[in-house]
Amino acid sequence: MNKAPLYSRSPRRGAAVPPPPVGPAADAVDGSAPAAAPGTSAVTAAAATLPSRLRTLPPAAWALIGALLAALAMLAVQRLGPGQRAVTQDDIDLAVRESLEKEPLPSQATKAYQAILPSVVRVTGFADEDDAAADESPEKRAMERSLGTGVVIIDNGTILTNLHVVWGSKKIKVRFANGHESEAIMVGAQPENDLAVLKALSLPDDLEAATMRSTADLLPGDHVIAVGHPFGIGPSVSYGVVSGLKREFRSAEGERTLTNLIQFDAAANPGNSGGPLVTMDGQVVGIVTAILNPSEQRTFIGIGFAVPIENAAQAAGMPPF
């Protein structure tokens, strides 16, 4: 829709300006009344400022004008109605609160989750070229595969996940948000940041890539969500804040030390690995990669880590932000 043009209050250039009047007319233009002669009453002086035709109106005409003005004033009062008063800001605030109580707006976390959900995939790595046999026990099938999460960063099927999710797998499968499943191959890796880049071999028709955002303005205390498939359940969302920046983490096996990590307290468990860490505007700032737990349970105690999206983008051959 075209916007209505805005006009300046200053006069147009080049417009003809009429010459100022002189004499009594000039006094009428600039708003000043002609000086009353000595001995002239104030009423007479005020009447002298009226146009000549109004000054010659008979008293009956003046009485009629006064009656009309009084009638208009009474009509205006009657339109307000008895007992009505002007609407105040408190009235507006009350109406807004009542409306929100009847139909509450979705939370920021809900909107962020809805924005990222079409780009989240479940990643499964198999130890064999063939899927686990149907007659095998669930425990054996669980041992022969790894579960994690990934996020689509290019709509051609390019997916980011953790390297430890797919490392050693002979076969990789991904399941998209709409249920479409596809085999995937690893096309890139960045071991120093525990990142892997996958390419799905078949794509759903409505595939959407996530929007990535620089971490340059990310601060401790910023709200974030972690989306993934903890213990294979999902997609699941958890909510928290950024707890710190530029953290280091050394895996329990001592295989590698990860640096420059985002620390967060949104719940994450095995299966969240490779999933996106998302700000309230629905944009990805990191890839969930590890949780800190000194015990052997490997469950969440409030400290999770994510690789900044700048590193993840480089792993996929994309320029940093």
Q: Using DSSP bridges, classify how beta strands 195-200 and 181-190 pair: parallel, antiparallel or unpaired.
A: antiparallel
Give me 170's structure tokens. Answer: 């002979």
305, β-bridge pairs = 263, 290
Per annotation, catalytic residue among 146, 182, 194, 243: 194
- Beta strands 284-291 and 257-264: pairing type? unpaired
Q: CA 192, 233, 225, 289: dihedral to nearest 10 degrees?
A: -10
Residues 6+ apart with CB under 8 A from 13: none
- Annotated active-site residue 90? The verdict is no
> Annotated catalytic, 273?
yes
Rounded to whole angstroms, how far apart are CA atoms 90 and 11?
40
Residue 2: Cβ-neighbour burial (10 angstroms; 0-12, 13-18, 19+): exposed
Catalytic residue among 119, 182, 243, 273: 273
**Which entry of 119, 164, 236, 238 is annotated as an active-site residue?**
164
Cα 146 from Cα 138, distance rounded (Å): 13
229 is catalytic: no
- Active-site residues, by number, are 164, 194, 273
